[in-house]
Structure 1
Amino acid sequence: MNKFKHFLGIDVSKEYFDAVLILNGAKEKPIHNQFANDSKGVKTLNQWLKKQGATNQQTLDCLEHTGMYGKLIIKYLMGFNYSLWVEMSLKIIRSMGLQRGKNDKIDAERIAIYAMKNQQEAIIYQAPSRTVEKIRNLMSLREKLILTKASLIRNSKEMKSLDPEVSELSDKFQKQTIKGITSDLKQIEKQLDLFIKEDENLSKIYSQAISVPGVGKVTTLYLICFTNEFTTYSMPRQLACYAGVVPFEHTSGKSIRLRPKVHHMANKKLKKQLHMCALSAVNHDPEMKEYFKRKVQEGKNKMLVINNVRNKIVHRICACIRDNKTFEVRKSA
Structure 2
Amino acid sequence: MSKFSNFLGIDVSKEYFDAVVILNSDKNNTIHNQFTNDSKGLKELTNWLKSYQSNAENTLACMEHTGLYGKIITQHLLAKEFTVWVEMSLKIIRSLSVQRGKNDKVDAHRIAYYAMKNQEEAQFYQSTRKIVDKIRKLLTLRDHLVKTKALLIKNTNELKEFEPELAKLSQKYSKSTIQGIEKYLKNIEKELDKVIEDDEKLSNLFEKATSVVGIGKVTALLLICFTNEFTMYENPRQLACYCGVVPFEYSSGNNKLYERKVA
TM-score, normalisation: structure 2: 0.93
2:238 matched residue in structure 1? 238
1:100 matched residue in structure 2? 100
Does 2:199 align with 1:199? yes
The aligned runs of 1:1-333 (5 Å cut-off) are 1-253=1-253, 255-256=254-255, 258=256, 261-263=258-260, 265=262
Cα deviation for residue 76 of structure 1 reads 0.5
Q: Which amino acid is 1:211 matched to?
A: S
Deviations 1:158-198 (A, max 9, x none): 22233322222111111110000000000110111111122
2:102 counterpart SS class: coil
User: Structure 2 CA distance, aligned partners of 1:43 and 1:221?
Assistant: 34
Deviations 1:235-272 (A, max 9, x none): 1111122222222223345x23x36x341637xxxxxx
Deviations 1:55-114 (A, max 9, x none): 202110011122221111011111111000111222223333333333222222222121
Deviations 1:18-58 (A, max 9, x none): 11112211222211222111011112211221221112021
Count of residue correspondences:
263
Cα deviation for residue 228 of structure 1 reads 1.2
> Residues 250 and 101 (structure 1 numbering): CA distance in 2 closer, same or farther, change over 3 Å?
closer
> Residues 230 and 23 (structure 1 numbering): CA distance in 2 closer, same or farther, change over 3 Å?
same
User: Structure 2 CA distance, aligned partners of 1:177 and 1:227?
Assistant: 34
> Residues 156 and 15 (structure 1 numbering): CA distance in 2 closer, same or farther, change over 3 Å?
same
Cα deviation for residue 208 of structure 1 reads 1.6
> Residues 156 and 118 (structure 1 numbering): CA distance in 2 closer, same or farther, change over 3 Å?
same
8 A contact 1:14–1:37 mirrored in 2 = yes
* Higher fraction of strand: 2
1:53 counterpart SS class: coil
Q: Which amino acid is 1:263 matched to?
A: R
User: Structure 2 CA distance, aligned partners of 1:68 and 1:164?
Assistant: 42
Q: Which amino acid is 1:202 matched to?
A: L
1:231 counterpart SS class: coil
TM-score, normalisation: structure 1: 0.74
Structure number with greater CO (CA < 8 Å, separation at least 6) is 2
Q: CA RMSD in A?
A: 1.8
Cα deviation for residue 214 of structure 1 reads 3.4
2:50 counterpart SS class: helix
Structure 1: tracts of 5 or more residues without a match: 267-333
8 A contact 1:245–1:262 mirrored in 2 = no
1:229 counterpart SS class: coil
Runs ≥4 residues deviating over 6 A: none
> Residues 106 and 215 (structure 1 numbering): CA distance in 2 closer, same or farther, change over 3 Å?
closer
Larger displacement relative to structure 2 (180-189 or 1-10): 1-10
1:307 matched residue in structure 2? none
> Residues 142 and 20 (structure 1 numbering): CA distance in 2 closer, same or farther, change over 3 Å?
same
User: Structure 2 CA distance, aligned partners of 1:30 and 1:232?
Assistant: 30
Q: Which amino acid is 2:34 matched to?
A: Q
